Amino acid sequence: MTTEDVLDHHLDAFTGQDLDECLADYTDDSVIITNMGTFRGLDEIEDLFAGLFEEFSQEGSTIELDQKEIEGEYAYIVWHGETPDNDYEFCTDTFVVEDGAITQQTFAGKVEPKA
């Protein structure tokens, strides 16, 4: 699978809130670094996505991809979204894809809680 294939699968799994398919893109050695902490291995990554799916499954939640760039084993996306709890004004993820899996990912975003 190419980097773009893995990224597209991941985006489809995320927007479809399919936790098993989302986790299929990672390995026990994968690491996700965010401003909320670092998540290592499938168990911690599962906890991260379960929380995100819980938030984005609320009625009225939206998410939109603004930009997607692929360069070799690197993928970069820019997106924005909204849930009843938070406004995800500007968010980016960078992925490193090796041997058909996301081995490293970073997330950064301007997330404003709704008062």
Mean pLDDT computed over 88-102: 98
Q: How many CB atoms lie within 10 A of CB 27?
A: 16
- Check residue 98 and give its pLDDT: 98
How sure is the predictor about 104, in pLDDT bands with cuts at 50, 70 and 90? very high
Tell me, what's the pLDDT at 115?
78
Domain residue spans of the chain: 3-113
Strands (E) located in the chain: 26-34, 37-40, 62-71, 74-82, 86-98, 101-113
* Structure confidence by residue, pLDDT tens digits, 67-90: 999 999 999 999 999 999 999 999
**How much is the average pLDDT of 100-114?**
97
Token representation of residue 35: 């401003």
pLDDT tens string 15-68: 999 999 999 999 999 999 998 899 999 999 999 999 999 999 999 999 999 999
Given the candidates 3.10.450.50, 3.30.70.920, 3.40.30.10, 3.40.47.10, the CATH classification of the domain at 3-113 is 3.10.450.50
pTM: 0.94
